[in-house]
Amino acid sequence: MIRLLEISNHTLFWYYLASNLAYLTMLIVALKTSAAHQRSLKSHRLSWLKESPLAPPITIIAPAHNEEKSIRVAVRNLLELDYPQLEVIVVNDGSEDHTLDEMREEFRLRPVRAVYIPQAESAPVRGLYRSEVNASLLVVDKESGGSKADAVNAGLNAATSPYVCIVDADSVLERDALLRIMFPIMADPKRVVAVGGIIRVLNGSEIEGGHLRRVRLPRKSLEVIQVIEYLRAFLIGREAWGQGNMLTIISGAFGVFRTDLVRSIGGYRSRAIGEDFDLVARLHRHLLGKGVDYHIHFVPDPMCWTEVPSDLKSLGRQRARWQKGLLDVLWPNRDMLFRPRYGRIGCFAFPYLWLFELFAPVVEIAGIVTIVLAACLGVLSREFFLQFLIFGYAFATVISIGSVLQEEITYKRYNDWQDVIRLVSYCFLEHFPYRQLHMIWRLRGLWEYLRGDVEWKPLKRKGLESAQVP
Amino acid sequence: MESIFEKLWRLGPAALVLKAIVAAIVANGLLLGFILLRRTYRKWYFAKRDARVFALRQDWDRLISGEIPYETWRQKSFDRRIVESIALDALEAAGAAESARLLKFLRESGLIEKRIFEARTLTGWRRMRALVALGQTRALEGISAMAEGLRDHDPEIRLAALRGLGRTASPQAAEEILAWVGERGLSVPAMPLQNALIQCCAERPQLLIPCVQHAEGPLREVLGRVLGEVATASLSLDLLQFVGDDLDELRAAAARAMSHAERGLAFDVLSELVGDPIWFVRLRAIISLGELSEPRAIPDLMRGLTDSNRLVRLRAAEALVKLKTEMAPIFQQVIATQDRYGLQAYLTALENASLRGKLEEELLACTAGNNAEKTRLWKILRTGVLLAEETVLAEFDPAKSAFLS
């Protein structure tokens, strides 16, 4: 028993060290990459791109479900984006409120007979409407399919551009976000098949007329911690994975894909829990299986601002769902592991996800249990345990502060001193008890998935109107 | 006496962790210190710059006319940078007269000469900055210095030189860029090269033709794309050679450029390209045919309307709808294709252009043909369903008729 506990404690130590070293490596790669990205940005002038004949047409697909309070502002925001050839498709996904009526009134919608070819699986469509105010707006009114994937598929079936940009209707895109996210595609249209943008936390910021007026850090601790998490995940994680063409997720809140490719794999999987992750995984499988030379990019500067959960219950539910989504994708794709045919994805990205994302809550919770047991049985070296704890804490803080630094030297959206001080403070505070709670939520997600509980439950959100400046 | 590190080693296995703790704490301190110092410095710098910009702006006219001796600000690098950036920003938005005045100022104050010198002699980011600034001046005397930058071993310098040359938007710069890509091939990312060439070749697109003929591989694709964007009617005969080219991009470029060509020639070429095996070549050909806006294009547009690619069908439909001719006969031809995807594309284009009402009026007013035919056309327009399909649909529902399976 004692021997077993010793082995367990050592495993935990090495696991933790490896996970942090992986993140440290990613931090270094990300710092280097963003410096290069900043330099390359200087080669382009957005004003040229805005009128560039080389900019391919793009269709934005925004699924909306019961968004009556914010839909006007959200759609106006999308229509006002800077891009030469833009089509906006809003999918009213069986809303039970007045979402469609709001749009009808604001954009003077009239029924049309637009081309709709159901290549991707979706619930029945009730009608198609085009705006008389802005001809580039098409509204697809459909029955509820019970998932965002189903709604996006309906948009995909009506899209008429070679590229589609999937966004959340309740997110706020910066005006030049599309131009920025299309850089890699315009630079290498043959190889680049998808591009992911960065998602930032909207809570606390001020919005005016659908546009972000002032970026501020949220007031609630729980939301600030999520700001750090997002910075770490996007500015370090995705930046580094994207650099090695190993990006396995493009957030469903903001990503661009080649339309024909997404259609060729049947669009989003309607029953997928993490539909965004699932789509990218299927794209990798499809393209690697065919031996295609392709690239999936991440671009850190086209910003999409989204609301994050502000209470523990919603956050817990969201994180549990993410964990379910992870397992839901990794398990069916387990045959990709270590298969040379699937290149870096099969040899590095997926094994990393299995080891450091999927198993993380299991390992950490098991670790805590064995440490407690070892302490009770008197076999725990208290000195070593304390040192390990301090090391883990300090090391994890380095990564978090690194992500804040990355934000500081690149995009610097938090201008107030007060915000930066708070952000840095939370880099130290997020480890207790948030991290442990997070592990429990994730563990719960795994447990629910194994029990077959995969039902989607809506999160409590305040909506765009909460950030609206009066 | 034993050092701290020796003491740490003696601690045994725990030493590794202890050292890691020290390293992590030091790293945290350094990161925090860096953030703090950087913020403080930037705040101080921007306040100082803002004050100086304001002061210089007060005397701007006297400053660029030379009334205030150039020496008073040229000696101070901080002031010189501000004056230069204000002048270059003004140059971007200036009209012809103001541009000439600003360029004269930049020349007389020696700023251009200074930048040429820096672009030739400095290294690293200073040289990059000089190259871009030189391009912004649009002064032709700076082109040779920028061309030297193109031949540098550092890819960042090459990119900066390319940006600079692109900003001059002059044929001379295009000649330099094309000579360089002819020598070295594609040694920078395609996007900046395309941008620079589109800017510089707009005035004399014929510069591209010999380069496209001799280029190979990805460079040829890039040049083909640029050619497609900048081609004018004067190039139509030159472009004919690319219609049968092996490279898809070049055929697409030729198709695109044909919209500017002499009409007779354009129709023949575009008719051929509408049948190309590559979809984006067909797409370009259909768009160009649409831009010609001639009833002669109808047969080819009808072919596009029944294309296997959805985008080609949609663009063909848009082109058909925009033709300035009677719509009813076209609608009749659309129906005659018996292609339901084509019909839906046409109806979509009709709706998008808000021309549905016009077609309805034409159908009502149409005196040719018998009543049965008119009723048939009217019914198809209303339902969006070809008559052969009617049996499939149990009941009429305008919304449902849009959904094809």
Closest residue, chain B, to A57 (C-alpha): B311
Name the more confident of B257 and A56: A56
β-sheet bridge partners, residue A208? A211
pLDDT at residue B403, rounded to an integer: 35
Q: Do A288 and A337 contact (CB within 8 A), yes or no?
A: no
Which range is most confident: A340-344, A382-386, A429-433?
A340-344
Q: Kindly determine whether residue A387 and residue B14, on different chains, have CB atoms separated by under 8 Å.
A: yes
Give residues with Cβ within 8 angstroms of A269, minimum separation 6: A149, A275, A278, A279, A282
Distance between A49 CA and the closest CA of chain B, angstroms: 9
pLDDT value, residue A453: 83
* Structure confidence at residue B259 as a pLDDT band (50, 70, 90): confident
User: Given an 8 Å threshold on Cβ–Cβ distance, is A408 in contact with B35?
Assistant: yes
* Domain spans in chain B, listed from the N-terminal domain onward: 325-405
Interchain contact, A128 vs B402, CB within 8 Å: yes
pLDDT number for residue B10: 60
Q: Which residue of B has its CA nearest to A185?
A: B191
* Per-residue pLDDT reduced to its tens digit, A26-49: 999 998 888 888 777 766 667 777
Q: What is the CA radius of gyration of chain A?
A: 23
Whether the link from the prior residue into A57 is cis, omega within 30° of 0, is: no
- Kindly state the average pLDDT of the residues A339-355: 95
Question: 3-state SS string over chain B?
Answer: CCCHHHHHHHCCCHHHHHHHHHHHHHHHHHHHHHHHHHHHHHHHHHHHHHHHHHHHHHCHHHHHHCCCCCHHHHCCHHHHHHHHHHHHHHHHHCCHHHHHHHHHHHHHCCHHHHHHHHHHHCCHHHHHHHHHHHHHHCCHHHHHHHHHHHCCCCHHHHHHHHHHHHHHCCHHHHHHHHHHHHHHCCCCCHHHHHHHHHHHHCCCHHHHHHHHHHCCHHHHHHHHHHHHHHCCHHHHHHHHHHCCCCCHHHHHHHHHHHHHCCHHHHHHHHHHHCCCCCHHHHHHHHHHHHHHCCHHHHHHHHHHHCCCCHHHHHHHHHHHHHCCCCHHHHHHHHHHCCCHHHHHHHHHHHHHCCCHHHHHHHHHHCCCCCHHHHHHHHHHHHHCCCHHHHHHCCCCCCCHHHECC
Query: Is A401 within 8 Å of B162 when comparing Cβ atoms?
Result: no
Q: How many domains are contained in chain A?
A: 1
Going by their DSSP bridges, the two strands A109-111 and A125-131 should be labelled as antiparallel
**How far, in Å, CA of B253 to CA of B227, rounded?**
6
Q: Are strands A172-173 and A163-167 parallel, antiparallel or unpaired?
A: unpaired
Query: Average model confidence (pLDDT) for chain B?
Result: 86
Give domain status of residue A161, yes or no: no
Flag if A387 and B18 touch (Cβ within 8 Å): yes
> What residues of B are in contact with residue A179 (Cβ under 8 Å)?
none
Domain assignment of residue A105, yes or no: no
List CB contacts (< 8 A) between B31 and chain A. Answer: 398, 401-402, 405
Q: Which residue is closest to B35 within chain A, CA to CA? A: A405
**Alpha-carbon distances, residue A348 vs A3, A173, A225, A238, B82 (angstroms):** 32, 32, 28, 14, 49
Span A119-131, average pLDDT? 92
What residue in A sits closest to B190 (Cα-Cα)?
A187
CB B303 within 8 A of CB B333: no
Mean confidence (pLDDT) of chain A? 89
Q: Are A388 and B398 an interchain contact pair (Cβ–Cβ within 8 Å)?
A: no
Confidence of residue A379 (pLDDT cuts 50, 70, 90): confident
Query: Would the pLDDT of A296 be above 90?
Result: yes
**Residue B393 pLDDT > 50:** no
Instruction: Find the mean pLDDT for residues A233-237.
Output: 94
Position B293 confidence tier, pLDDT thresholds 50, 70, 90: confident
Least confidently predicted of B94-108, B171-185, B367-381: B367-381
Hey, of A59, A108, A113, which one would you mutate to test binding to chain B, going by the most B CBs within 10 A of its CB?
A113
pLDDT of res. B376: 86
* Mutation to test the B interface, candidates A43, A299, A382, most B Cβ within 10 Å: A43
Query: Which residues lie closer than 8 Å to A169 by C-beta, 6 or more apart?
Result: A62, A63, A64, A67, A70, A71, A74, A75, A90
Read off the pLDDT of each residue in B89-96 and give the average, rounded to a whole number: 90
Among A1-5, A44-48, A88-92, which range has the highest average pLDDT?
A88-92
Distance linking the first and last C-alpha atoms of chain A: 64
In this predicted structure, what is the pLDDT of residue A210? 76
Asked whether B113 and B138 are in contact (CB, 8 A), the reply is no
Pick the closest to residue B373 from B320, B336, B318 (CA basis). B336
Task: Pick the range with the lowest mean pLDDT from A308-322, A359-373, A447-461, B175-189.
Answer: A447-461
| Secondary structure letter of residue A464 according to DSSP | G
Q: Is residue A79 part of a domain?
A: no
DSSP β-ladder status, A58-64 and A86-93: parallel
pLDDT one-digit tens code per residue, B294-351: 889 999 999 999 998 888 998 999 999 999 888 889 999 999 998 888 898 898 888 8
> Quick one: average pLDDT of A449-462?
76
In A143-205, the DSSP E strands lie at 163-167, 172-173, 192-201
Structural contact between residues A9 and A370, judged by C-beta atoms closer than 8 angstroms? yes
Q: What is the largest CA-CA distance in chain B?
A: 114
- Residue A328: the pLDDT is 95
User: Do the strands A163-167 and A125-131 form a parallel or antiparallel pair, or are they unpaired?
Assistant: unpaired
Residue A222, domain extent? 1-43+171-470
Say which of B14, B31, B132 has its CB closest to residue A402.
B31
Answer whether B17 sits within 8 Å of A387, measured CB to CB. Answer: yes
| CA–CA min distance A463, chain B (Å) | 31
**CA A12, A16, A22, A27: dihedral to nearest 10 degrees?**
180
| Residues of chain B found within 8 Å of residue A186, distances taken between Cβ atoms | 191
- The verdict on residue A214 lying in a domain is yes
Domain membership flag for residue A114: no
Is the model more confident about B39 or about A458? B39
Sign of CA dihedral A433, A434, A439, A445: positive
Chain A residues in contact with B402 by the CB 8 A cut-off are 113-116, 125, 128
Find the Cα–Cα–Cα–Cα dihedral B86, B89, B95, B96, rounded to 10°.
80
Q: What is the pLDDT of residues A161-193, one digit of tens each?
A: 999 999 998 889 999 999 999 988 988 888 999
C-alpha of B254 from chain center: 18
Contact criterion met (CB < 8 Å) for A395 and B38: no
Name the residue among A34, A95, A23 with its Cα closest to residue A299. Answer: A34
B352 interaction partners in chain A (CB closer than 8 Å)? 112, 114, 130, 135
Q: Is pTM, for the whole model, over 0.95?
A: no
- Residue predicted with more confidence, B191 or B162: B162
The 10s digit of each residue's pLDDT in B123-153 is 988 999 999 999 999 999 999 999 999 999 9
**Phi and psi angles of residue A212, each rounded to the nearest 5 degrees, phi first:** -70, 125
